[in-house]
Amino acid sequence: MKKSKIRGLIITVVIIVSLYYFLPLVVDNLPSFWTSKRLKLGLDLQGGSQIQLEVDFSKLELSEKEKEDGVKTALEIIRNRIDQFGVSEPSIQRVGTTNRILVQLPGLKDPTRAKELIGKTALLEFKLLANAEQIGETYELLDKYLYENIDNYEYLQKFADMEIEEIIDVFETDEEEEILEEEEEIPKVFTNLTMSEDEFPMIIEFKNIALLKTLLKDENFKEQIPAGIQIAVGKENKNDIFAPRPLYFLHKRAEITGKYLDNANVRIGSGYDPKTSGKPYIALKFNKSGAKKFSVITGNNIKKRLAIVLDNVVYVAPVIEDKIPGGEAMITGSFTIEESNDLVIVLNAGNLPAPVNIIEERTVGPTLGSDSIKAGIIAAMIGMAVIVLFMIIYYGLSGFIADIAVLVNIGFIIAVMTMLEGTLTMPGIAGMILIIGMAVDANVIIFERIRENLRQGKTIRTAVDGGFSRALVTILDANITTLITALVLYQFGTGPIRGFAVTLSIGIIGSMFASIVLVKAIFDGFILNINRTKLSI
């Protein structure tokens, strides 16, 4: 009696919990105390983006162990970034034992933003700007080099011709032209490419940015830049992407880097400062050692400009007005809230150990997902109908009880996946269809054992109790071996296989509960407690 009460309590709790998580999927406007969790759909069902990345160690001299650790670190950093990005139930996993990482982002409508977020190496540096003398020397050296080697830089020829043509037009006589040729200065190729008309502030026009980037990738050109000097472009203006961008000459050596950063967050400026008032900015907070270091840097470089550089792009280069002892700084600029949040995510998630390259990108449309859902539902309904009819026809009332167990099991699977905030994928639907067939397998074994007992002339109660006890070991053996297989699939499989394994595992547990516990309780309550002389089985 006590055993029956405990079993009844377990069944009641399972059914109530299952209804709590299952009903919101089919009933709208439930009371506020009901769960807000919903079953999520995978990439193949609701559409989205799939991006395959490769961690690039080609420019780094690392051991195999360091590369292995690097891939694992990149995996966790990308996972942190995507989690903060807010994509519903993303899948981020390594592809086998390679340097590749597969990222699936269900329902994502802006894959470009996600790619930018994933690929950033997030190298945050604070660098002092070069002084006027160093900048002048750099321009002089680069102008001379490009003039002497202009044949190797045909795409810059127009900047070499620009100044000569303009000057020659001023002279009218051959004698004056001869004087020009004798006194002619070297054409300022790099100057014409980068500087504004009044030579300050230094900018580069949008149409010339690609040329400058090409030039900065040229190894021979980079060798001409004075030692310790770096040329960097400022952040683009999102409100006007075609606007000129600032050009900065920095000291290569970083005064402090992002490894000293404690946290970053987005704030909205207040007060009367036009740079921050009513605008989003990024507030940086250094750790204890970073705060000391930052205090010394700002104290020793008052009235100098300190650039905040992220991945070799200068976001802002303010003048240090005074020593900053608190270890706090801010990145201001023409940020939107979305840009600010993305930048904070990258800074807080940490630095990627190596660059990551996008080697494959695939977009799945919602139409395909809708068709897959319909096909899956139709297949499940047909499979369910066939099994229900078969069990009723072959086993009578007992078959109908087994059908009830199948329905409970399906509801249990969906409820558990919702409770765990899992994702339903097309392989998951296939697993669910398979479970429908497996769910009655245990009942078939039990019913056949009961039939054997009845043919031996045993009473209905004895036949039922014996049937369940004799079938129990067989059912456990079969389901446990299948469960082990599902766990192996989950451990070593990729996204779709894992989705199948999760659904299969939950279904196996639900199937054993429904067949052994629920069906036995129904038999005890509605068959064995009544003095029956015949059993419909």
Q: Express each pLDDT in 440-453 by its tens digit.
A: 888 888 888 888 88
pLDDT at 185: 60
Instruction: Identify the bridge partners of residue 308 per DSSP, sorted by sequence position.
Output: 126, 316
Q: pLDDT at position 296, please? A: 92
Dihedrals phi, psi of 266, to nearest 5 degrees = -90, 135
pLDDT in tens, 269-306: 776 666 667 788 888 888 889 899 989 999 999 989 98
Backbone angles phi, psi at 36, to 5 degrees: -95, 0
Q: Which domains does the chain have, with CATH numbers?
A: 2-41+366-528 (1.20.1640.10), 48-121+359-364 (3.30.70.3400), 125-339 (no CATH)
| Rounded distance between C-alpha atoms, residue 328 and residue 343, angstroms | 17
The residue type at 65: K
The residue among 516, 392, 530 whose CA lies nearest residue 460 is 530
Return the C-alpha torsion angle 389, 435, 464, 526, nearest 10: -60
- 356-364: strand order across its sheet: 91-94, 100-106, 48-55, 356-364
d(CA 380, CA 447): 24
Identity at 95, one-letter amino acid code: V
> What are the 10-residue block averages of pLDDT along the chain, 537 residues in total?
76 88 81 78 75 85 82 78 67 82 77 70 82 91 91 87 49 44 65 69 85 90 93 82 88 89 82 71 86 91 88 82 83 72 69 78 65 72 84 88 87 86 75 77 87 86 85 85 87 72 86 86 75 75
pLDDT for the residue 142: 92
**CA 252 to mean position of chain CA atoms:** 32
| Backbone phi and psi for residue 179, each to the nearest 5 degrees, phi listed first | -60, -40
Distance of alpha carbon 454 from alpha carbon 463, whole angstroms: 6
Q: Which residue is listed with tokens 């009880």?
A: 401
**Phi (first) and psi of residue 87, to 5 degrees:** -75, 135
DSSP assignment string, 83-111: HHHT-SS-EEEE-TTSSEEEEEEET-S-H
User: Cβ of 214: how many Cβ atoms within 10 Å?
Assistant: 13
Sign of CA dihedral 221, 225, 230, 232: negative
Asked if residues 9 and 321 have their Cβ atoms less than 8 Å apart, the reply is no
In sequence order, what DSSP letters do the residues of 374-397 get, joined into one string?
A: HHHHHHHHHHHHHHHHHHHHHHHH
pLDDT of 226 reads: 93
Please, which residues have CB within 8 angstroms of residue 483's CB and are 6 or more apart in sequence? 505, 508, 509
DSSP 186-233: PP-HHHHHH--TTS-S-EE-HHHHHHHHHHHT-HHHHHHSPTTEEEEE
DSSP string, 287-302: -HHHHHHHHHHHHHST
CA distance 364 to 239: 30
pLDDT in tens, 200-258: 468 888 888 889 988 988 999 999 999 999 999 988 776 777 888 899 999 999 999 88
pLDDT at 367: 54
Q: What's the pLDDT score for residue 129?
A: 94
d(CA 341, CA 267): 10
Structure tokens at 531: 């003095």
- 165/161 Cα distance (integer angstroms): 6
Share of the chain above pLDDT 90, in %: 9
- Return the closest-CA partner of residue 316 out of 256, 232, 259: 232
**If you count them, how many residues does the chain have?**
537
Q: CA-CA distance, 295 to 293, in Å (whole number)?
A: 5
Phi, psi of 264 (to 5 degrees): -135, 145
Q: What three-state secondary structure class fits 305?
A: strand
Q: At 307, is the secondary structure helix, strand, or coil?
A: strand
pLDDT, position 168: 38
Which residue bears the tokens 């409770």?
419
CA–CA separation, 50 vs 368, rounded Å?
Answer: 15
d(CA 11, CA 25): 22
| pLDDT for 198 | 53
Q: Please give the pLDDT value at position 253.
A: 92
CB atoms within 10 A of CB 118: 24
Say if residues 258 and 285 touch (Cβ distance below 8 Å): no
- Report the interhelical angle of 426-439 vs 366-419 (nearest 10°): 50
